[in-house]
Amino acid sequence: MTTQRAELEGTVAAKGLAFGSARVVYSAKIDVETEPLPSAGIPNEVKRFEEALKTARAELASLSDRVSGALARDLSEIIDAHAMILDDPEFTDAVVALIRKDSLRATAALKRQRDLLATMFEGIDDPYLRARRDDLDHVVARVYAALARGGAEPERKPSAEGQILVCETVAPAELAQLAESGLRGLVCTASSPYSHTAIVARGLRLPFACGVKHALAVVHEGDSILLDADHGRIVVRPDNIDQTRFRTLQKEAERVRRQRARIKVTDARTRDGVSVKLHVNAENPDVIAAARRAGADGVGLFRTEFLFMKRRELPTEDEQFRAYRDAIVAMAGRPVTLRTLDLGADKAVGGPLEMALEENPALGLRGIRHSLVHRDIFTAQLRAMLRASAYGPMRILLPMVSAVEEVREARELIEVCSEEVRRSRHPVADEIPLGAMIEVPAAALVSADIARHADFLAVGSNDLAQYVLAADRNNAAVAANYDPLHPAFMRLLFLVLDNARQAKRPISVCGEIAGDPRYTPLLLALGLTEFSMHPNALADVRETVGGLSRKSLKARASRLLHAPDRAALAEIVDAMASA
Ligand code: PEP
Ligand code: MG
């Protein structure tokens, strides 16, 4: 066995530092039974598969009963999602049909159906939904394990005390159990920061680096590992120098943590006294609770489409109303920006919206386009939002706007809905600002006109960058092209910010760059004073803002806008960190 030191790199999925010994789990590759199935054996094979499904369901139900505490909510949603796959005829009936029609053994049929569904997931351009492929694999692994055991009890897993798990991917529920038994960190060759596993790891504060390609080839059971999941770096079999460096990192992280715990959460202000609003992007009530703890100024983006996912039926108006109202009440007087549905045909897969699959979903019936076509769904959502407006400050935000007409049409519909809601004796706030997301180049170019029809603007820099740079935000092959530090993106962003300023409309940026301290000086230099981000990013961005002088940043804006290429731009941006 090699004792040589090795370094690996991956993607940050849950920040933190961990030191431990490797617990290596090679992927439970499905060992398919290839021998032909005689027709007399078919009924028995179907029964075997059905028994395995039953076992998998029972295991999930018992997991559900066992989890408790803060994580229970996240986890129970995930367990429900897995149970739904087990009950989904597209999955189960198809496997049975393969056993019956193609005379496949249960494991072979399971594998074939898994591969088919996995290919469909691969084609999805939404990272959240694409990460659901992990869910499918976790369910398949559970059924496969039940088939392989043939009714025997599962083995009890040894304690994970002091260990770092190295594997292809791990199911969220299993991760939570391992964490309970002392797991210190996670390194996966696959998975993504959008996976449920990553969500659970962040909730557990368990350092997690994903996409660490060669981890399973390099790491052996029991190897010492230093996991720096703040930067996605892993040292395997570290030497003394690595260990000393790591201890320094740990001490520094501990110092920052203590310092932060002492600081009273205050308003974000630059060194020269410019006040900056820091809002959060939220998808569920847990994020809202975290936002309050972190002292957010409001919710800059509530992604309502998450209410429409992982379920078979559309949420009713009442159900939506309760979710929006709870978010508004929880923010106790700080504004909540509810974005209308941003689902398109791509994001509708597996959800309650039955829509045709589109060839090019990123350019398809997404966001406001979808809402204006499916009026019944849109009106139910608007009515729920309007009813919630009686409980505190609320704004409505339209996604994927590409023309002034869409804002106008939505405003007219909101007025009609307000009248109806009031007539049905529900109070509605007098003023509900209506905003437009600027995430399509056309909208950016006509943002001066859109600003006249909207009460505020929000730049969706994730999508704006992908459309301006013609680089799919989820395609690793064009990750280098998808770089906001491109002169074209920079100039377009400035145009939008300047148009909002001239029209005297509030504007925020709510894509990932708003929560990345590297871009904080640049955004301040371009004139931004409202940021919206994941709650975990608030403290870093607040601290970065506090160390910068807006006046001296603004003096460099013109150099930014005239930078001829990426390298020049990156140099200016890096130098701004000390402005
Ligand atoms: C964006 O595009 O930047 C944005 C915030 O919206 P989403 O990431 O939900 O598409
Ligand atoms: Mg977007």
CATH number at residue 283: 3.20.20.60
pLDDT score for 141: 84
- Total Cβ atoms within 10 A of residue 3: 7
Minimal-distance CA residue to ligand 1 atom 9: 303
Are the C-beta atoms of 265 and 294 separated by less than 8 Å? yes
How do beta strands 394-398 and 336-339 pair? parallel
CB-ligand 1 contact for 512 (6 Å cutoff): no
The enclosing domain of 160 has a CATH number of 3.50.30.10
The CA R_g of the chain, rounded to the nearest whole Å, is: 25
| Residue 233, H or E segment | strand 233-236
Residues 269 and 208 in one domain: no
Q: 202 in ligand 1 pocket by Cβ < 6 Å?
A: no
**Residue 225 in domain:** yes
Whether the CB of 306 sits within 6 Å of ligand 1:
no
Indicate whether 370 and 409 sit together in one domain: yes
At residue 428, φ and ψ (nearest 5 deg) are -130, 140
Within a domain: residue 141? Answer: no
Q: Is the CB of 463 under 6 A from ligand 1?
A: yes
* Position in ligand 1 atom list of the atom nearest CA 281: 5
Dist. CA 265–CA 458, nearest whole Å = 25
**For atom 6 of ligand 1, which residue has the closest CA?**
460
Check if 370 is active-site: no
CA separation for the pair 296, 288 (Å, rounded):
9
510 is catalytic: yes
Shared domain check, 286 and 232: no
d(CA 170, CA 182): 16
> Contact 86/56 with Cβ under 8 angstroms?
yes
For a pocket test of ligand 1, which of 368, 398, 439 has the largest count of ligand atoms closer than 8 A to its C-beta? 439
Q: Is residue 77 part of a domain?
A: no
Residue that finishes a domain, picked among 240, 260, 280: 260
Q: Which of 209, 225, 260 is the last residue of a domain?
A: 260
Decide whether any atom of ligand 1 lies within 6 Å of the 11 Cβ: no
395 in a structural domain: yes
3-state SS, residue 176: helix
Is 174 a pocket residue for ligand 1 (Cβ < 6 Å)? no
Protein residue with least CA distance to atom 1, ligand 1: 460
Q: What residues does 437 pair with on adjacent strands?
A: 458
CB 548 within 8 A of CB 274: no
Asked if residue 515 belongs to a domain, the reply is: yes
Q: How far is CA 435 from CA 59, 301, 327, 358, in A?
A: 46, 11, 19, 27
What atom of ligand 1 comes closest to residue 303's alpha carbon? Answer: 9
Q: Considering 239, 260, 281, which residue would you say is the last residue of a domain? A: 260
- Ligand 1: atom nearest CA of 512 is 3
Instruction: Say how many Å lie between the CA of residue 471 and the centre of ligand 2.
Output: 14
**Please, what's the largest Cα pairwise distance for the chain?**
82
Instruction: Give a yes or no: residue 495 inside a domain.
Output: yes
With the most atoms of ligand 1 within 8 angstroms of its CB, the residue from 339, 462, 482 to mutate is: 462
Q: How far is the CA of 561 from the centre of ligand 1 (A)?
A: 24
Q: Is 476 part of a structural domain of the chain?
A: yes
Q: Is 244 in contact with 48 (CB distance < 8 Å)?
A: no
Regarding the beta carbon of 461 and ligand 1, being less than 6 Å apart is answered: yes
CA of 116 to the centre of ligand 1 (A): 29
Same domain, residue pair 177 and 277: no
How many angstroms does the Cα of residue 451 sit away from the middle of ligand 1? 19
Indicate whether 346 and 372 sit together in one domain: yes
Domain limits at 19? 6-25+156-260
Is 282 found in the same domain as 205? no
Q: How far apart are CA 574 and CA 522, in angstroms?
A: 9
Handedness of CA 310, 316, 322, 327 (dihedral sign): positive
Ligand 2 centroid–CA 437 distance in Å is: 8
Same domain assignment for residues 413 and 480: yes
Q: How far apart are the first and last CA of the chain?
A: 51
Q: Write out the chain's pLDDT in tens, 579 residues.
A: 567 899 999 999 889 999 999 999 887 666 778 887 898 999 999 999 999 999 888 887 777 665 544 455 556 667 777 888 888 888 899 999 999 999 999 999 998 888 888 777 766 666 666 667 778 888 888 888 888 877 676 666 778 999 999 998 888 778 888 888 899 999 999 888 767 788 678 767 799 999 998 999 899 999 999 999 999 999 999 999 999 999 999 999 888 877 766 666 678 999 999 999 999 999 877 788 788 878 899 999 999 988 887 677 889 999 999 999 989 988 888 999 999 999 764 555 455 666 667 778 889 888 999 999 999 999 999 999 999 999 999 999 999 999 999 999 999 999 999 999 999 989 999 999 999 999 999 999 999 999 999 999 999 998 999 999 999 877 778 888 988 999 999 999 999 999 999 999 999 999 889 998 999 999 999 999 999 998 888 989 999 999 999 999 999 999 999 999 999 999 999 999 887
Q: Of 196, 279, 370, 486, which residue is the catalytic one?
A: 196
Domain count within the chain: 2
Same domain, 364 and 225: no
Going from the Cα of 560 to the center of ligand 1, the distance in angstroms, rounded, reads: 24
The response to whether residue 459 sits with its C-beta less than 6 Å from ligand 1 reads no
Does the Cβ of 126 fall within 6 Å of ligand 1? no
515 pocket-lining for ligand 1 (C-beta < 6 Å): no
Q: Kindly report the backbone phi and psi dihedral angles of residue 168, in degrees, each rounded to the nearest multiple of 5, phi listed first.
A: -75, -60
- Alpha carbons within 13 angstroms on the beta-carbon side of residue 177 total 15
Residues 233 and 339 in one domain: no
Q: Is 346 in the pocket of ligand 1 (CB under 6 A)?
A: no
Pocket test for ligand 1, best of 338, 346, 510, 528 (most atoms within 8 A of CB): 510
> 183 with 242, same domain?
yes
Has residue 121 been placed in a domain?
no
193, 272: one domain: no
